[in-house]
Structure 1
Amino acid sequence: MGMRSTEDDGVLGLLLRDLRRQRSLSKQVLAERAGFSLNHLRRIEASEQTPDAETVLHIAQALGLPPAHRQQLVDRATAAGRLRWYDSVPPLPDDARPVLEKVLTGHEPYPAMVTDSCWNIVALNHTMETLMSEVAGHLLAPANFLRIILHPDGLAPHLTNLAQVRYHVMRMLRRWSAITGDERLRELEVSIADLPSGRDAEFSGSADAEFDGSGEADRLLLPIELYREGHLLTFFHIVTSFGERPGTLFSDIPSGPLGGIALESFLPANTETRFLLGSPAPVSPDTGSTSGATQPPPPGHQQHDNERKTS
């Protein structure tokens, strides 16, 4: 479905494909030699997934390339694999970035990001960056994930269950704002509530009755249904804290060097989403949305969102 890293622009995958063809190897043979699934190799060669340095090394060895040529490809993969980092408050410790980078790249091909105590994005892995590729530029400085997911210039037009996601986001934000007394969270709550897709009136009445009665287990595994490129991707959103959260500059809750920093993972909720993201592993039992195949777009979804102006 075209999940391409913007930093390598697909060139590395094409190089590996040409090297394989020069040696008259089939994809199946090369995949077996490198120890990968055939689907994984296909996605790399089709520039739908940018391989990391270790993956490139395995492929280069399976191709029988000389050491100097292998290193050139590995260096290229290392450069392409650098993640996009944003400023965080407070700044990350010097030794934290390499650790977080390993965690984010280890989640590939599933989306993942690191956020601070106000849900400002600290870093994205490549799959997450691709899913956010059509987010308007004015939402990226600063890049606040809660604002992005609910904003009409962000991910909101792509969500098929926007009302449900919106309700739970606001419920969570209000709860943490009340617990911490953090003025930044209150300001964020007000700014989101003023969005066309996030007015307080939309969280009352039938919305409360529909979503608040779903049960604690359902709230823990809230599906995020994202319609992209003719496919419905369904994720479970899991948050892992590295320190106390919320641990903010303006609260009395103690925090360590990574206080407030969290890993936010988006795990596939069904087999189709796993397949579309390049993982052959089955899901059992199959939960969430029933299909990741081509689906009708959500109401108001624009087929040509790439025409949206960014700043």
Structure 2
Amino acid sequence: MIGTSERGGIAGILREWRGRRGVSQLELALRAGTTQRHVSFIESGRSAPGRGMVIRLAESLGMPLRERNVLLLAAGYAPAYPETRLGDPALAPVRTALEGILRGHQPYPAVIVDRHGDLVSANDAFWALAGDVAPGLLVPPVSVPRVLLDPGGMAPRIVNLDVWAWHVIDHLRGEAARDPGGRLDALVADLVELVPDRPRPGPDHLGFAVPLRLRHGDGELRLLTTLTHFGTAVDVTVAELRLEAFLPADAATAAVLSGGS
């Protein structure tokens, strides 16, 4: 029997995610190795897919592991992907690897965050970069986007806040669309109220994904950001972790971060 959920059971969830991805029933069927007729029957509630088909449909839509479990439950099956606490001994090798990556990124700042942007771990270089962040922003759970964009955080030192803030916000909006949940939507709404209005693009506009320009002493640091995640994780917790690293965009910044000036 087809399971149900607050979003209308597997039929409603499947339609919702197919709409999010902009995928037709035919395209989804081809990806999942089935027929458009079968996908149509599932979405209309006329057919109950097997467990393997549910997993193939979820994979074909690129659904996050957490949402794949939701789809399985809605279809009447047990979740396929465990969600292990990060402190669990089973994830000790993962924690060791992550801490090694953070140390290895020194002397450049790097953080590990969860799906909500909350801090999991950071290296010493990040804390040095954060500097005089208001203590209230560092009370767990620490929201890294808030540390960056809140007036009590790093925002007053960001030279190009009017542009760079929207790079952060647009990324969070994309994450919220891929992994619906509410907390990210609320975070985006809060941050929009904190930062300058989105600037109108001029003739020399290069987009909002620009280097972070951070005041430092009498000059400024110019930093590029990278985001990395586990591409082959089968545990929900691990799959939702993100490494955000800051890299020097010029030689002067590299020298400062390396202690050369």
Q: 2:201 aligns with which of 194, 198, 209?
A: 209
1:152 is paired with a residue of what secondary structure? coil
**8 A contact 1:113–1:124 mirrored in 2:** yes
RMSD of aligned residue pairs (Cα, Å):
2.7
**8 A contact 2:84–2:235 mirrored in 1:** no
Question: Which amino acid letter does the alignment assign opposite residue 225 of structure 1?
Answer: R
C-alpha distance after superposition, 1:161-201 (max 9, x if no partner): 11111111122222222232221111111221232x25xxx
What pairs with 1:238-249 in structure 2 (closer than 5 Å)? 238-243=226-231
Report the CA distance between 1:243 and its aligned residue.
4.2
Question: Which amino acid letter does the alignment assign opposite residue 233 of structure 1?
Answer: L
Report the CA distance between 1:213 and its aligned residue.
4.9
> What is the distance in 2 between the residues matched to 1:263 and 1:152?
24
What pairs with 1:77-226 in structure 2 (closer than 5 Å)? 91-92=85-86, 93-141=91-139, 142-195=141-194, 197=195, 202-203=197-198, 207-210=199-202, 213-214=205-206, 219=209, 222-226=210-214
2:92 is paired with a residue of what secondary structure? coil
Identify if the C-alpha distance between structure 1 residues 186 and 255 changes in structure 2 by more than 3 Å, giving closer, same or farther.
farther
> What is the distance in 2 between the residues matched to 1:124 and 1:226?
19
> What is the distance in 2 between the residues matched to 1:144 and 1:211?
35
Report the CA distance between 1:133 and its aligned residue.
2.5
**8 A contact 1:243–1:255 mirrored in 2:** no
Normalised by the length of structure 2, the TM-score is 0.60
1:91 is paired with a residue of what secondary structure? coil
- Is residue 2:227 matched to residue 1:233? no
C-alpha distance after superposition, 1:87-106 (max 9, x if no partner): xx973133322111110000
> What is the distance in 2 between the residues matched to 1:211 and 1:177?
30
Question: Which amino acid letter does the alignment assign opposite residue 240 of structure 2?
Answer: G
Matched with 2:257 is 277
C-alpha distance after superposition, 1:74-131 (max 9, x if no partner): xxxxxxxxxxxxxxx9731333221111100001111111111111111111111111
Q: 2:248 aligns with which of 268, 274, 287?
A: 268
> What is the distance in 1 between the residues matched to 2:203 and 2:166?
8
Question: Which amino acid letter does the alignment assign opposite residue 180 of structure 2?
Answer: G
> What is the distance in 1 between the residues matched to 2:203 and 2:146?
21
5+ residue gaps, structure 1: 1-88, 248-253, 281-292, 294-311
